[in-house]
Amino acid sequence: MVYDNIRLEKQGAIATLTIDRPKALNALNTQTFLEMESALRSLGTDTRVLIVTGGGEKAFVAGADIAEMATIGSERAREFAALGQRVMGMLEHLGCPTIAAVNGFALGGGCELALACDLIYASEKAKLGVPEVTLGVIPGFGGTQRLTRLVGKMRAKELVFTGSHVTAAQAKEYGLVLDVLPPEKLMEHCLAVAGKLLKNGPLALAQAKRVIEFGADQDLRTANELESQGFGVLFGTEDQREGMKAFLEKRPAAFSGK
């Protein structure tokens, strides 16, 4: 399907979703969210890893589209936030690992988009932040909550309260990104990580993602029960039998996702 504001490309089992509104620094508006939702729904089980990035050289996503938001009222704002949170939730709970390749400004909604991904890698030129309070509002697409869970309550408050932008190096120090790469190496690195993930059982990766995401909000006893359930379910799969047989036969496993 052809979209106006995004591109969805597939290279084997790796899909790349690019927010492509370079004149607006890839800002997120209603149409972009709806196109992202359609693209995410279109991904089948043949997609084993999704990389999310921004078009052009300046921005991953510079934020939500202020031109669209400036004149809306409270009810429309709640609807826009609900749409954004729905799309971020779809990304967060997608049945395969997701990688954010933060190639430039990731501010406001852009930072929230990265936070909804499983792994975040950044270019040396990237700047990250949640500056919504400088506009008289707060993050609306899950940023206050995912950021707190990732970097801790006090650091999240500092970032949200000040609205400051941080460099990629600072973001790594805070635990907001995993690694910082030269701009020309960023996608190469993300593709290399995706390649490593492709060697592993897709059903196992999906279960690992599920128990980590859902377990993080539970007490330890409940989270461990989720883990044991996921562990047990995988023993009814062809992938488990193939993985252990391959190990014993000292050969690479050929996982089928069944």
pLDDT at 4 over 90: yes
**Hey, is 206 helix, strand or coil?**
helix
Task: Answer yes or no: 213 catalytic.
Answer: no
Asked if pLDDT for residue 29 goes beyond 90, the answer is yes
Longest CA pairwise span in the chain (Å)? 65
Sign of CA dihedral 152, 58, 102, 93: positive
Catalytic residue among 57, 68, 79, 112: 112
* Percentage helix, strand, coil for the chain under 3-state DSSP, each rounded to 5: 50, 15, 30
Candidates 2.60.120.10, 3.40.50.970, 3.90.226.10, 1.10.3720.10; CATH matching 6-198 = 3.90.226.10
Which amino acid makes up residue 87? Answer: V
Please give the model's pTM, rounded to 2 decimal places.
0.95
Provide the pLDDT for residue 1.
Answer: 81
Q: Which is catalytic among the residues 68, 132, 173, 242?
A: 132
Q: What is the pLDDT of residues 81-131, one digit of tens each?
A: 999 999 999 999 999 999 999 999 999 999 999 999 999 999 999 999 999
Enter the tokens of residue 185.
Answer: 């190496």
pLDDT tens, position by position, 180-235: 999 999 999 999 999 999 999 999 999 999 999 999 999 999 999 999 999 999 99
Q: Among this protein's residues, is 158 annotated catalytic? A: no
pLDDT at position 122, please? 98
Q: What CA–CA distance (Å, rounded) separates 123 from 104? A: 7
What length does the chain have?
Answer: 258
CA terminus-to-terminus distance, the chain: 27
Domain boundaries, the chain: 6-198, 202-248
Residue 59: closest CA among 30, 31, 23: 23
Q: Are 21 and 32 in contact (CB under 8 A)?
A: yes
Mean pLDDT of 73-84: 97
Domain 202-248 sits in CATH at 1.10.12.10
